[in-house]
Amino acid sequence: MHPQTYRSLADARDFMRHAYGRQIKLPDISAQANLSPYHFLRVHKLAYGETPHEFLTRLRIERAKTLLARGSHNVTEACFEVGFSSLGSFSVLFNRQVGVSPSEYRRLVRSVVAVPRTVRPLFVPSCYFAMLCGDPGAG
């Protein structure tokens, strides 16, 4: 494959990384690479081992995992935030890629994520530190 083709593919992948939350179609992506949709589809699969749709789905699922792990979004909010238009499709694809449903993933991650030692003081009332450290002015 010609080096310019790889640069064009990289430009298209950068576009997908920035536009994953929107509804984008193959012609939109292939235009970023200045290739016809069908030629783009073939060379993308050849170069990366996955179709542009598979890459975009993987990006969206990874972003959804981050949103769910943070606890800032429920499953429906995460689904639409990352660019899926169907909660059913999102759940099936998420389960296929991750191995658990989005709600189960959210529950599991939030139950096993530990608060780092350096951040714990932010979550402990100062009166407890006063008792532990003997600081009469705290609390």
56-92 pLDDT per residue, tens? 999 999 999 999 998 889 999 999 999 999 999 999 9
State pTM to two decimals: 0.74
| CA 60 from centre of chain | 5
- Pick from 20, 92, 36, 97: which is nearest to 65 by CA? 97
Angle between helices 52-70 and 102-112 (to 10 degrees): 50
| Confidence band of 112 (pLDDT split at 50, 70, 90) | confident
| Domain edges within the chain | 3-112
* Separation CA 115–CA 47 (nearest Å): 40
Pick the CATH number of 3-112 from 3.40.109.10, 1.10.10.60, 3.90.79.10, 3.40.190.10: 1.10.10.60
Query: What is the per-residue pLDDT across 27-47, written as a single tens digit (0 to 9) for each?
Result: 999 999 999 999 999 999 999
